[in-house]
Amino acid sequence: MLTETSTLSGLDSACASAPCSAQPLNRAIALARMRLLSLQNDAGYWVFELEADCTIPAEYILMMHYMDEINVSLQAKVANFIRTQQSADGSYALYKGGAGDISCTIKAYYALKMAGDSSQAVPMLKMRDWILAQGGAAKANVFTRIMLAMFEQLPWRGVPFIPVEIMLLPKWFPFHLNKISYWARTVMVPLSILCTYKVKACNPHKIGIPELFIIPPEQEKNYFAHVKTPLGKTILIIERLGRLTEPMIPGFVRRKATAKARDWFMVRLNGYDGLGAIFTAMVNAYEAMDYLEIPADNEQRRIAKAAINQLLVIKDDMAYCQPCVSPIWDTGLAALALQEVDRYEHNAHTQQALKSAFCWLALKQLRDEPGDWQIQRPNLPGGGWAFQFSNSYYPDVDDTAVVALALVQAKDPAFIENIERAGVWIAGMQSSNGGYGAFDVDNTCDYLNHIPFADHGALLDPPTADVSGRCIMFLSKLVNQHPEYKMVIDNCIDYLRNEQETDGSWFGRWGTNYIYGTWSVLMGFESAGVPKHDPSIRKALAWLKSKQSLDGGWGEDNLSYYNTKIGGEFDTSTAFHTALALLALLSADEVGCPEVESGVNYLLKNQQSDGFWDDDSFNAPGFPKVFYLKYHGYDKFFPLWALACYRNKRLTTA
Q: Which of 372, 398, 455, 461 is catalytic?
A: 398
Q: How many CA atoms lie within 13 A of 94 on its CB side?
A: 18
Q: Amino acid identity, residue 26?
A: N
Q: Which helix (H) or strand (E) holds 621?
A: strand 620-623
User: How do 50-51 and 312-314 pair as beta strands?
Assistant: unpaired
Closest CA to 525 of 580, 465, 481, 483: 465
**Active site includes 446?**
no
Tell how far CA 192 is from the center of its chain.
Answer: 24
First-last CA distance in the chain: 26
Show Cβ contacts of residue 559 under 8 Å, excluding neighbours closer than 6 positions. 98, 566
Return d(Cα 453, Cα 1) in angstroms, integer: 56
User: How do 620-623 and 627-631 pair as beta strands?
Assistant: antiparallel
Cα angle: 253, vertex 255, 257; to 5 degrees:
70
Return d(Cα 564, Cα 386) in angstroms, integer: 31
Burial of 208 (C-beta count, 10 Å sphere; 0-12/13-18/19+): middle
3-state secondary structure of 270: coil
577 strand-pairing partners = none
Closest CA to 352 of 33, 3, 648: 33
DSSP 121-163: SHHHHHHHHHHHHTT-GGGS-HHHHHHHHHTTSS-GGGS----
Cβ atoms of 650 and 11 closer than 8 Å = no
Return d(Cα 379, Cα 482) in angstroms, integer: 19
- List, by residue number, the catalytic residues: 398
